[in-house]
Structure 1
Amino acid sequence: MKALLKTCNANLLLCLTLLLAAGIASRNALAAVPLAMPLALLATLALTAWLTRRETIAIVLLCCCFFLLGSLRGNQHETRSVIPASIRTLAEAEADVVIVGRLAALVADNGLVSKALIDAYHFKETSTELLQPTRVRLLLRLKDSWPESILPGDTLAVRARLRLPSVGSIPGGFDYSRYLVRQGVAAIGSVTSPLLIAPILTEPAADGHQWRYRIERIRASIGAHLHALLDQPAAGLYRALLIGDRSTIAADLTESFKGSGVAHILAISGMHLGLLGFFIFQAISWLLRRSEYLILRLDIKKISMLLCLPPLLFYTLLAGAQPPVVRSFIMALFIVVALATDRLKSPLTTLAGAGLAVLFYDPLSLEDASFQLSFSAVAAIMLLVPQLLQRLGAPARESSVIGRLLWWLLGAVAVTIAATIGTMPFLLYHFNRISTVSIAANLIIEPLVCLWAMVFGFLALPLQVVSLPAADLLLHIGSWALVAAVAAARFFSSIPFSSLWLPSPTPWIMALYFTFLVIWLAPPPGTLGRRRPLLGLLFCCCLLGLFWPLTPLANSFREQDRITILDVGHGNGVLIELCDGRNVLIDGGSRNSPDFDCGAALIAPYLWHRGIARLDDIIISHADADHYNGIPALLDRFAVDRLWLPYLDAGKPGYAELCRMAGQREVAIMFPDSGTFIENQGYRFIAVGTATGAPAVRRWVDTDNATEDDNGLVVLLQTPRLSMLFPGDIGTVREQELLTAREPIRAQLMLASHHGSVTSNSPVFLAAVAPSHLIVSSGDRAGALFPSQSLRSFAQQNDTTLLTTVDHGTIVIAATTDGYRVQAFKNGQWTFSGSGQDGAITPR
């Protein structure tokens, strides 16, 4: 205990930071406990103990204070609401409103959708004349280019349809609503045309934000100049590197950088700020050394470091003041102040101080991927690089030119390896992806971007004020390196198996990974410290656990069949996990915007959350995009054995591309005939009412959507404990035909036909199926069309439980010993629970 207290005292700032983080992480468990009074009492006792020179007691009490402080601050930020009641009411009704406000920041425009932040001051419904005051931030989405005449700080009037952002309704998925709330965004406004946006001539802002608008106008000016001066992709990359705007980088290029493991270069962070700080320091130091008077009276290095802070702060604001660059500036501030005051004890202490400041200001940043990646990368570089250089046999820096070059090369390799080791668990947890070529790619691409393109870019920024032609020349020279970096990124990402997609590691594996890594690097004295080989072996086992999680193995021994209807909006996505380990997906699509892929954003994260890396079967009911447009992303990220289709060609380019992609990946394309087409260990999938004797390659072309829907697959799942019918988008005509089909249609559960539409779900068909639970997969927030009133009436009259994904979120049905259990997940929690009786259906 004394050794532990001594270590804690020697690294007090680090311990307090870790305890603050632990308190934030455990805030939900302490949410119902009033913490203010215990915190004040412990703080008083700690101060008393310190004043009476009882340091041990003071340290223990102080540690307890920081743990409670973290939980208290976390709960305070968690409960903040930025949505006024009037705006919430209009957003819930998806009403059309007129908004008057100021453009708050640089508009993000990817060529398909423009996204603009608006500080709204007044609003009114289109049916009224009176403007109402408000103070709220809105995110406007325009499926067109933003008017060039409206710049940040300008007042505008816009007509938009308000809606609330999608809430977190898929376990393991990204909670977009929470993300926007943390950005201060209350609601989303959809604008159908630039003609609905009009500038308003007013006096400059006098609300204290004028400086921020000016910086955003500078960002917009630099971005427009880069766009006009350089060709793509150099213009988009320079916008990302210099002003923090990645919206104009093409999606395929972003994918190339991610696939080659160098995507971090595109996000302004500590590396960019450190490079800029180095150049500013060298320039200021050179200028100050021109004066003999200053050299004799001042510490030039310390003064130069302190004078670097204002330019770095300006660049932080110029880069959009995004969380990663703000954290990097805070870290730089701590390091500079510590060096200038001769109080730099250890790099880790400085890093802990920066983390403490960030977490105290914004406790929920602990959950951000960028926070975890940036701090784990820096900590790993501090701890691992010296040991790696020693093991790699790096020569002394004072040796020959060749020795220096070798030292720099080995240093770059060591930094890349250290950052990879430190960030690997978080990369897999948040992004489920690791690059196998990242070390080689970083050695080539980082010098091109950081030591060439960024150098010329940083020099061009201030030169634009003095000589625009000279600045443009520097940007052109820098763009050559960006073009070479793009070619290198595309090459590395095209190498087979350059990226590995893996399920999310469990938190306990991540905790063991970091625990054994830290103990291995800095073993404590005693028996444990003398067992470094054993600790290294345990660390390697945890590393293997990251790449080969035990969840898929455990899933193969599961005892319950499980059906999950994912909340994908207006579309379908159903995951079926069976007792023998088979994973089957029925449909995977959504009616969404051009820049959103439900397969990559919704379905894949849930599969990884469930520890699934392979899909045995994907069944597509028919060729509507809202049933299949997420499947291509799944074929990219998962091993798929078979793709079951109703027909090969429906005359739709997207569907034809899906079939071609499946063939390229050697996925077997199958066409189920009438009757059982998948069967094992008591379960079976039955194609209901499908024509028999179909040719090996089934082609069907028809432009009549109703006919296409009725030609889709109708699938019945039967297990020993539950049965469920998946009719796709069939209409009442096909429903009538199924009443006389040879195959059974009776089931305990049913996914409502055509998302609960009035053109489907005829009472006679529903009576024949006789489900206990009806589930509607729809994104109709108003509930006017999906589900239809007739379907609601049927459920009420027949004592059938009606669940909708728009109201209940993701719906999970799990078999039990005497039937099945139904649960629903929305707003980050399980909100509904029900059950059904055992009623295994015997085929007729």
Structure 2
Amino acid sequence: MRHLWQGLSGWLASPLVALVARRGTLLPWAPVFLSVGIGFYFALRAEPTGPVVAVALGLALLLWAGGLFGPDLGRSPAFAIALIAGGFVLAVARAHLVAAPVLPFRYYGPVEGRVVDIDRSFSDQIRITLDEVRLNDVATRKTPARVRVALHGDQMGFVPEPGLIVMVTAHLSPPDGPVAPGGFDFQRLAWFSGLGAVGYARSPPMVVERPEGHGSLAAFRLRMRLSAAMQAGREGQAMAFASALMTGDRSGVTAETNDALRASNLSHMVSISGLHMGLLTGFVFALFRYGLALVPVLGLRTDGKKIAAVAALGAATFYLFLAGPEVATRRAYVMAAVMLVAVLFDRRAISLRSLAIAALICLVLEPESLTEPGFQMSFGATAALIAGFEQWTKYQHHVPAALRPGLVMVLSSLLAGTATAPIAAAHFNRIAEYGLLANLLTVPVMGTVVMPAGVIAALLAPFGLAGPAIWVMEKGSAFILWVATWVAGMKGAVVTVPTPPDIVLPLLGFFGAALMIGGARWVRAGGAGGVVLALLLWGGAERPDLLISGDGTLVGLMTAEGRALSKDKGAGFVAKSWLEDDGDAADQPTAAKRAAFTGKKGALQAAFADLRLLVFAGKGSAVRAADACAAGTLVVLSEDWGGAGGDCALFDRRKLRESGALALYREADGLRILSAKDWAGDRLWNRRR
């Protein structure tokens, strides 16, 4: 027995001994374990209580102390568990700190506020975000800090400007929950964005007051002014695209352009991210580094590398100020800043340690960014590039020097594309088949033509000499959009995939990190096995047999052809989301033509399991539903049920308002019903106040 215990103790201790030996290389694991704690908070179906949070905080502090002062063998595990508990507490704190009023009811009437953002809606309409909001007859404590209004119809010449105080008659409602159980949770996104109501207006806003001075919106005004100047007198999407990547103003980029960029896997180019920040800082760094070298008196007496790093850091800081502190931009800035500061301290600028520091900063500032595709794709791609090129350096001497630049470009796109493809597919239900080709054709143009021309234009603009550089930038942007349109038009350019089960993305993230930063071969092998397991689970994804929207106006029944919809227009966002989550490339009119529903408009019927499915909508639908409610029927009603109890299974507007959207699954012992409310749980962002 004694020998058995000694053997078991040695077997358990050996991995800990290995961890002690590799302690100096474990920093890249810190954001991974912090993410586990953050992810656990967001996965909960109920808000954690005060005692639970207190225990987690105490555990984090105790184990952190153990990691600092405890025995060597226990330090790494102590730090890991402390980071998990700390990430959980950090997410809880952040969720409470951003708390702001959410409109508790539907509102129609005058809305007054200051324009603090301008973008485009799902329906490709100009959309404004307002703060300093005032609503008629709504108490201050119930008035949202921010509201977002899409401007429909003829705006009679109204042009939104940063800082304008406007009044508009609008329909507002609280942010909606998921359009189906397991779907994208807009309520959570709105909560962390401080957005308390969304809606639309059909009449143009009235300007109440024009802004004076700069104040807190100085960057926003400068951004829009520069964007307008870049696009002045130039038609088409090329300069709208160029101004988006240079200033962050995407309001001029149409839905058609965005669709082409997504289908060609080039949508990352229209959002200021690591690519843009890296190209900008890289060009400025090279400009100063080699510029100083051309002047011997400066090149020999100064540290040109560090001066170039300071200049590049200044350019990145201004870029952040101009584009605004959005999550993707801030994340890109942090990554660039960490790497440039590493140059100043004579450290490796590009390493997994630098990446880990950047990830830790981003997660501490905004834990919710972990759930966003931008964070996942940005850090996933960068980790893959660093890990991949560490291996490349070992074997590059076997490749002829003339072939290395081209091979490096292919390898970069392949590594980044492989790392981000499953993440993009999980969030957006699509894989761009020819994304590698599109990136190989356009990234060099972005790096050698568009971004350098933009920097030169910025330097020459004060002297009125920016015209030629702007022209070059426009032509480069036009080429990128041409490639996007060409690739998007290829047969099979986009392959659709269903939404994976909830567990898949966390598994991909954790085991993908182990594969890229694991160090030891057995860790990397375990990571590869975990990634394969996640993909297998994805392949077995189960889609609902029947979906019912949260207001009862749309029903989707799964058939052999795909999901059949109960109407060909209306509830367009819900229909699009359902079809995308199914991995179905059909549009709403096509899905509505699938053979499932029969009958007249407003009184449809279909066979579902052992039931007769009846869908009633429109004026008088409650009366028709009352007459049809009988045993063996499932009735969906877009009005409130007004009759006496019947024998049917009934889902009317009142019930659906309480439950949210419904997903029904056929099982051997009957129907399994899952509501959006049950799936989302009782969280801060979906509680009605």
Using the size of structure 1 for normalisation, the TM-score is 0.70
Per-residue CA deviations over 1:357-380 (Å, capped at 9, x if unaligned) read: 100111111010000000000000
Per-residue CA deviations over 1:731-782 (Å, capped at 9, x if unaligned) read: xxxxxxxxxxxxxxxxxxxx3x115x42563377235x45676432x4xxxx
2:575 aligned partner: 599
Contact between 1:811 and 1:823, CA under 8 Å: does it hold in 2? yes
The question of 1:88 aligning with 2:70 is answered no
Contact between 1:599 and 1:631, CA under 8 Å: does it hold in 2? no
Q: What amino acid is aligned across from residue 463 of structure 1 in structure 2?
A: L
CA deviation after TM superposition for structure 1 residue 13, in Å: 2.2
Contact between 1:259 and 1:498, CA under 8 Å: does it hold in 2? yes
CA deviation after TM superposition for structure 1 residue 237, in Å: 1.1
SS of residue paired to 2:275: helix
Which of 641, 644, 662 is residue 794 of structure 1 equivalent to?
A: 644
Contact between 2:63 and 2:82, CA under 8 Å: does it hold in 1? no
Q: Counterparts of 1:597-746 in structure 2 under 5 Å?
A: 597-600=573-576, 602-608=577-583, 630-632=588-590, 643-644=594-595, 709=601, 714-717=604-607, 719=609, 722-726=610-614
The question of 1:758 aligning with 2:620 is answered yes
The question of 1:124 aligning with 2:121 is answered no
Q: Measure the CA separation in 2 of the matches of 1:153 and 1:137.
A: 14
Contact between 1:572 and 1:589, CA under 8 Å: does it hold in 2? no
2:4 aligned partner: none
Change (3 A) 1:799 1:131: same
The question of 1:69 aligning with 2:86 is answered yes
Which of 811, 814, 821 is residue 662 of structure 2 equivalent to?
A: 811
Q: What amino acid is aligned across from residue 482 of structure 2 in structure 1?
A: A
Change (3 A) 1:421 1:267: same
Change (3 A) 1:541 1:282: closer
The question of 1:47 aligning with 2:37 is answered no
SS of residue paired to 1:88: coil
2:177 aligned partner: 167
Change (3 A) 1:517 1:214: closer
SS of residue paired to 1:460: helix
The question of 1:385 aligning with 2:389 is answered yes
Per-residue CA deviations over 1:35-85 (Å, capped at 9, x if unaligned) read: 33553465256437635x74444443332221111011112333556443x
The question of 1:455 aligning with 2:452 is answered yes
CA deviation after TM superposition for structure 1 residue 417, in Å: 0.7
1:587 aligned partner: 566
Q: Measure the CA separation in 2 of the matches of 1:567 and 1:45.
A: 47
Contact between 1:155 and 1:199, CA under 8 Å: does it hold in 2? yes
Q: Counterparts of 1:490-569 in structure 2 under 5 Å?
A: 490-506=485-501, 528=522, 545=536, 549-551=539-541, 563-567=545-549
1:472 aligned partner: 467
Q: Measure the CA separation in 2 of the matches of 1:551 and 1:135.
A: 38
Per-residue CA deviations over 1:555-591 (Å, capped at 9, x if unaligned) read: 8xxxxxx6423316573222247xxx88552425552
Change (3 A) 1:11 1:715: same
The question of 1:185 aligning with 2:200 is answered no
Structure that is richer in helix per residue: 2
CA deviation after TM superposition for structure 1 residue 348, in Å: 0.4
Q: Counterparts of 1:47-446 in structure 2 under 5 Å?
A: 47=65, 50=68, 54-79=71-96, 82-84=99-101, 88-89=103-104, 92-99=105-112, 101-106=113-118, 108=120, 113-125=125-137, 136-143=145-152, 144-145=154-155, 151-194=161-204, 196-200=205-209, 204=213, 210-285=214-289, 298-344=302-348, 347-387=351-391, 395=399, 399=401, 403=402, 406-446=403-443
CA deviation after TM superposition for structure 1 residue 304, in Å: 2.4
Q: What amino acid is aligned across from residue 36 of structure 1 in structure 2?
A: A
SS of residue paired to 1:69: helix
2:685 aligned partner: none
Q: Measure the CA separation in 1 of the matches of 2:71 and 2:485.
A: 62
CA deviation after TM superposition for structure 1 residue 301, in Å: 1.2
Per-residue CA deviations over 1:777-831 (Å, capped at 9, x if unaligned) read: x4xxxxxxx33xxx32334x77975443343222234456665454422374369
Q: Measure the CA separation in 2 of the matches of 1:58 and 1:543.
A: 30
Using the size of structure 2 for normalisation, the TM-score is 0.84
Change (3 A) 1:71 1:825: same
Q: What amino acid is aligned across from residue 65 of structure 1 in structure 2?
A: A
Change (3 A) 1:212 1:7: farther
1:25 aligned partner: 39
CA deviation after TM superposition for structure 1 residue 545, in Å: 4.3
Identity rate, percent: 21
2:476 aligned partner: 481
CA deviation after TM superposition for structure 1 residue 156, in Å: 3.1
Q: What amino acid is aligned across from residue 601 of structure 2 in structure 1?
A: D
Contact between 1:810 and 1:825, CA under 8 Å: does it hold in 2? yes
Per-residue CA deviations over 1:473-507 (Å, capped at 9, x if unaligned) read: 32122212222222222222222222211223456
Q: Measure the CA separation in 2 of the matches of 1:686 and 1:514.
A: 41
Per-residue CA deviations over 1:223-271 (Å, capped at 9, x if unaligned) read: 2223323221212211221112333223233222222222222221111
SS of residue paired to 1:151: coil
SS of residue paired to 2:440: helix
Contact between 1:237 and 1:482, CA under 8 Å: does it hold in 2? yes
Q: Measure the CA separation in 2 of the matches of 1:198 and 1:523.
A: 57
Change (3 A) 1:289 1:814: closer
CA RMSD of aligned residues (A): 3.9
Which protein has the larger Cα radius of gyration, Structure 1 or Structure 2? Answer: 1
Contact between 1:388 and 1:414, CA under 8 Å: does it hold in 2? no
Change (3 A) 1:818 1:337: closer
1:702 aligned partner: none
Contact between 2:144 and 2:195, CA under 8 Å: does it hold in 1? no
SS of residue paired to 1:247: coil
Per-residue CA deviations over 1:666-723 (Å, capped at 9, x if unaligned) read: xxxxxxxxxxxxxxxxxxx7957xxxxxxxxxxxxxxxxxxx737x8x434164xx31
Q: Measure the CA separation in 1 of the matches of 2:378 and 2:581.
A: 25
Change (3 A) 1:503 1:535: same
CA deviation after TM superposition for structure 1 residue 549, in Å: 1.7
Q: Measure the CA separation in 1 of the matches of 2:106 and 2:143.
A: 18
2:53 aligned partner: 35
Q: What amino acid is aligned across from residue 794 of structure 1 in structure 2?
A: A
Q: Measure the CA separation in 2 of the matches of 1:486 and 1:389.
A: 34
Q: Measure the CA separation in 2 of the matches of 1:104 and 1:440.
A: 38
Q: What amino acid is aligned across from residue 465 of structure 1 in structure 2?
A: P
Change (3 A) 1:55 1:809: same
Q: What amino acid is aligned across from residue 21 of structure 1 in structure 2?
A: S
CA deviation after TM superposition for structure 1 residue 118, in Å: 1.2
SS of residue paired to 1:160: strand
CA deviation after TM superposition for structure 1 residue 382, in Å: 0.8
CA deviation after TM superposition for structure 1 residue 124, in Å: 2.7
Unaligned stretches of 5+ residues in structure 1: 205-209, 556-561, 616-628, 636-641, 645-684, 689-707, 727-750, 779-785, 832-844
Contact between 2:567 and 2:589, CA under 8 Å: does it hold in 1? yes
Higher relative contact order (CA 8 A, sep 6+): 2
Change (3 A) 1:455 1:535: closer
